[in-house]
Amino acid sequence: MSSGRFNRVALATVAVASMAVASITFSGPLLAQPTDTADVTKSTPYPTARDLKNMTKAGSYLAARHASTDRDASAASAFYRAALRLDPKNNDLLDRAFISSLADGEMDEAIKLANRILTIDKTNRVARLVVGVHALKQKHYATAQQNINQSVRGPITDLVATLLSSWAGFGAGQTKAAIANIDKLTGPEWYPLFKDLHAGMIYELADKQKEAGARFERAYKLDDSALRVAESYAHWLSRNKDQAAALAVYENFDKKLARHPIVLEGIRELKAGKKLPPLADSAQSGAAEALYGIGASLTRRGGEDLALVYLQLALYLHPNHSLALLSLADLYESVKKPQMAIKIYERVPASSPLKRNAQIQLATDLNSVDRTEEAVKILKDVIAEDSKDVEAIMALGNIERARKKFVECGSTYSQAIDAGDAAKPNWVLYYFRGICEERSKQWPKAEADLKKALEIQPDQAHVLNYLGYSWIDQGLNLDEAMKMIRRAVEQRPDDGFIVDSLGWAYYRIADYENAVKNLERAIDLKPEDPTINDHLGDAYWRVGRKLEAKFQWAHARDLKPEADELPKIEAKIQNGLPDIDTSSSAAADKKKDADKGG
């Protein structure tokens, strides 16, 4: 059995909504896409002071461009600033240094550069926004409003500017004008939720509790599944109505999104008889809420560049905002920058109810950059605090499985199964444990777990594929196995790995024509996978296309297959495949049995 096949199991669900973000114009993407196939999960080493001192302007600029392509904002910022010091009148360098500093969260540098930009270009909206937020933090509210109001262009920035300007107005003691500023804003259908939420927060801090409650109630009726809306309303109810009403809001949210740490913390405090404080306690933290709320929304809707700006500004105003930290780290993960996500997760305060979540994600990212021992230690510490933490146990099992510690991961997934809800078993845990058992040569246990996964989640494509392929590979249950793999392909016709399974299944039953047909399609879907290229080479050889077979094997070799597969591939390049034993009817019998299910 090809060991590469079962290391490539992917359970990915991607739900990306679209939103028009015609708001701020950047000189280039803050999160630039790479231009080659280099592994972008490995960060460029951060430049030292000596590196920067000894480099020419051209060298610094090229290094900065490379760092930007590699999505390394820290290195890009340092190199662009180094180039700018050597050519201080270069406006393009100034703009790039500003944007990269902002993307990296180097706010002191970004503010200095923003002020320099505004002496040259008074219409630069990003610089206006940054200078305005800086003034708001310094409680220079009139200056903040003046700059923020000049940063607008489009539905997103109109809303952000209005909310920030209103918080600045509140900070200046102009509550009535701040609310009027919010209320007069018109725009898309998603505006009212933000407007009522922030109007309620401003009224709350101005001690106009009746007006605050009315606004929170309106926002809650618009969307009772929005965390900060539900949380704000519950907090207000706990102080102004009764604990039961506040608890009902949290419990309703828990039904929609179970066991959110912040909601569980709120429920615990309410049951302990506590009255919950406002989410914002100042103009600065209120503005941070606005920036976080819209930034987090944008990360889920394809607006990563603008989301990055808003989240960094939110953290500038409120450095310990746990939700903003997790949103920023998640954004970095989405663009495959785990090193940057690691730095953010490490900033989550130990007192935050989200610390445990941050630790689990931190461990996952540490493992992805080969800091596996640190990752395992973190997860074991989390599990030691709560032996029933299924998410942490599963994360540990996933690391062990990825690192091919199959005996260990089987035991870990068993621990997760035992810790879980027996009334609501999780098919993924049985599936993953089955993989670990199959890879550690415990097939009867693996088969039972894979069947259990299908019992819990019938027709799950990945499980059908794994069990069906395993049976085919062992010459077992061929009719049922082929049906399973075909059902998996029907569900996921564009999954190269599952299509490869069907092609390889045909190969194993000596139906080489169908093997070639399906493996060629798998190659179209996953051209850079060494296992699929190796499989296609084998199929080509059996149908007499021997030059093409050697080409595919050579390609498989160059794609860095697993270490135990490489000698086999090199031997095939040298000698081809041995002749089939035509005296045996086994292959023909297998093909006949499988075709009954066709």
Q: How much is the pTM?
A: 0.83
**525 in a structural domain:** no
- Which pLDDT belongs to residue 436? 98
DSSP-derived 3-state class of residue 371: coil
CB-neighbour burial class of residue 256 (10 A; exposed 0-12, middle 13-18, buried 19+):
exposed
Please, is 7 exposed, middle or buried when counting C-beta atoms within 10 Å of its C-beta (0-12, 13-18, 19+)?
middle
Residue 305 domain-assigned? no
What pLDDT shows up at residue 153? Answer: 78
What pLDDT score was predicted for residue 76? 77
**205-214, 566-575, 577-586: lowest mean pLDDT where?**
577-586
What average pLDDT score do residues 303-313 get?
89
Q: Judge contact between 225 and 251, C-beta under 8 A.
A: no
Considering 30-34, 56-60, 470-474, 573-577, the range whose residues carry the highest mean pLDDT is: 573-577
Q: What is the distance between the alpha carbons of residues 486 and 479, in angstroms, rounded to a whole number?
A: 11
Confidence of residue 50 (pLDDT cuts 50, 70, 90): low
Query: How far is 9 from 467, CA to CA, in rounded Å?
Result: 13
Cα separation, 407 vs 401, whole angstroms:
9
* CA nearest to 219, candidates 238, 243, 201: 201
Higher-pLDDT residue of 409, 27: 409
3 state SS of 208: coil
Residues 194, 164: Cα–Cα separation, whole Å:
12
- Cβ count near 141 (within 10 Å): 20
pLDDT of amino acid 80: 82
Mean per-residue pLDDT of the chain: 87
The answer to whether residue 121 sits within a structural domain is: yes
As a whole number, mean pLDDT of residues 185-190 equals 92
More confident residue, 390 or 583: 390
Report residue 428: phi and psi, to 5°. Answer: -60, -40
Number of domains in the chain: 1
- Weakest mean pLDDT among 43-52, 149-158, 235-244: 43-52
CA dihedral 323, 329, 332, 338 (to 10 degrees): -170
**Is residue 314 very low, low, confident or very high in pLDDT (cuts 50, 70, 90)?**
very high
pLDDT at 55 over 80: no
In a domain, 81, yes or no: yes
**What's the pLDDT at 43?**
43
DSSP per residue, 465-513: HHHHHHHHHHT-SHHHHHHHHHHHHHH-TT-HHHHHHHHHHHHHTT-HH
Structure tokens at 122: 């008074």
Q: Which tens digits make up the pLDDT trace of 105-127?
A: 999 999 999 999 999 999 999 99
CA-CA distance, 445 to 442, in Å (whole number)? 6
Local confidence band at 70 (pLDDT 50, 70, 90 cut-offs): low
Whether 311 shows a pLDDT value over 70: the answer reads yes
Q: Is residue 301 pLDDT above 70, yes or no?
A: no
Provide the residue range defining the domain that includes 122: 49-271
Q: What is the pLDDT at residue 475?
A: 86
Check pLDDT > 50 for residue 17: no
- Tens digit of each residue's pLDDT (9 = 90 or more) over 410-428: 999 999 999 999 999 999 9
Quote the pLDDT of residue 57: 66
Query: How far is residue 372's CA from residue 349's CA, in Å, rounded to a whole number?
Result: 23
- Is position 204 within any domain? yes
Quote the DSSP letter at residue 153.
-
Residues 212-233, mean pLDDT to the nearest whole number: 97
> pLDDT tier at 84 (50, 70, 90 boundaries)?
confident
pLDDT band at 451 (very low <50, low <70, confident <90, very high): very high
Single-letter residue type at 179:
I
Taking CA atoms, 277 is separated from 64, 260, 314, in Å, by 45, 19, 20
Angstrom distance (rounded) from CA 125 to CA 258: 40
Burial class (CB in 10 A: 0-12, 13-18, 19+), 130: buried
Distance, in Å, from the CA atom of 344 to the CA atom of 346, rounded to the nearest integer, reads 5
Report pLDDT for 596: 39
CA distance 166 to 473: 66
The whole-number average pLDDT for the span 306-331 is 95
Measured CA to CA, the distance from residue 263 to residue 265 in angstroms comes to 5
8 A C-beta contact, residue 311 and residue 295: yes
* pLDDT, tens digit, 9 for 90 and up, residues 487-527: 999 999 999 999 999 999 999 989 999 999 999 999 999 99
Cβ contact 291:164 at 8 Å: yes
CATH assignment at residue 89: 1.25.40.10
**pLDDT confidence band for 51 (50 / 70 / 90):** low
pLDDT surpasses 60 at 290? yes
Residue 584 predicted with pLDDT over 70: no
**Residue 31 confidence (pLDDT):** 53
Q: Are 456 and 420 in contact (CB under 8 A)?
A: no
Question: What is the pLDDT at residue 38?
Answer: 33
Q: Is residue 458 part of a domain?
A: no
The residue that leads in pLDDT, 584 or 436, is: 436
User: How far apart are alpha carbons 28 and 65 in whole angstroms?
Assistant: 11
Query: Are 301 and 323 within 8 A, CB to CB?
Result: no
330-375 tens-digit pLDDT: 999 988 889 999 999 999 999 999 999 999 999 999 999 999 999 9
Percent of the chain with pLDDT over 70: 86
395 assigned to some structural domain: no
Average pLDDT over residues 199-224: 97
| 266 contacts 255 by C-beta, under 8 angstroms | no
Do residues 391 and 399 lie in contact, with contact meaning Cβ atoms separated by under 8 Å?
no
Checking if the pLDDT of 479 tops 70, the result is: yes
Rounded mean pLDDT, 323-335: 94
Q: Is position 515 within any domain? A: no
